[in-house]
Every structure is written in structure tokens, then in C-alpha cells.
Amino acid sequence: MAQDSVGLSSDYQFWMQKVSTWDQASTVETQQDTCLHLPRFQEFLRQMYEALKEMDSNTVIERFPTIGQLLAKTCRNPFILAYDESQKILIWCLCCLINKEPQNSGDSKLNSWTRESLTFLMGLSSKSYGLGSSCQCPLPRSRDSTRVGILNMKSW
């Protein structure tokens, strides 16, 4: 598990840079690069989901302080969202961020942003793929049953 953890952290940095580049440019080359890397990015999102569903909020902040930026930029990328598999995995990751019992205004803002992002993605799903309300997020497992996830919103 420790080796997987190190690999995910280094992959995280790579994908954060990649998604930031994709977010800042709308050239044909950027679009092609997004499509070229999409299968690997989807696999990274699956691995991220597997990690997020097991973490408590302190661990998420320590390991992935810019998780909100990564997911937000992913939510804005039409070339990633064009594939239902990407949407599905992104929805799973976002579900892991909801704090069932927010303790402060930061937690409440996180929940609000996460719900807005989920609503946006579910709207895409129902329009594009006919999923609508039948699409369900898998429930993440957590050591702390009151907290399912968190993200750092400072630099948004």
C-alpha cells in the first residue's frame, strides 16, 4: 500500500499539471493531448477514488491539498466530460468529498461547492446519457463515519 501511495502522489502532481494546462488552453493541440491522455487520466481518477473513499479529512488535506482545483478543472473540461466513464468516476470522487456533519463554514462551503458540481454533472448525464436520477454514487467507506471527504478551497 505504501508504494501505491507514493505512486498516486507522483501521479497526482503529473495530472494536476496536465489538467491545469488543459484548463488554460483551448487549442487543437490541447484538445488532442486531452484525448490522447484520457484513458490514463480515467485510470488515475479511479485510483484517486479508491484512495479518497478510505481517507479522513486530515489525510486528504495533507496528501492532496489541491484536490478541489483538480476536480474543478476536470469538471470544466468538455473533452473529459464527453465520456460517460469520466463523468461517472468524477461523480464518485466528488461524493467522497461530502462532509455529512460539517463542523465549520469551510466544511459548509465545501459541501455547497460539491453539491453544485454534482448537480452540474448529473445534468450533463441526464441530457447526454439518459442517466438522470437513476445514476447513483457508490457510498465511500470511511474510518470516520461522520466525515466522508474534504478539499482545500483556499486557492480557487
| pLDDT tens digits for range 7-42 | 788 899 999 999 999 988 788 999 899 999 999 999
DSSP 133: G
Residue 120 predicted with pLDDT over 50: yes
pTM for the full model? 0.74
Residue 138 predicted with pLDDT over 80: no
The pLDDT value recorded for residue 25 is 77
Residue 151: band (very low, low, confident or very high) from pLDDT cuts 50, 70, 90: very low
Residue 145 predicted with pLDDT over 60: no
H or E element that contains 69: helix 67-75
> Among candidates 98, 82, 99, 81, which has minimal Cα distance to 90?
81
Torsion of CA 61, 148, 137, 108, to 10 degrees: -80
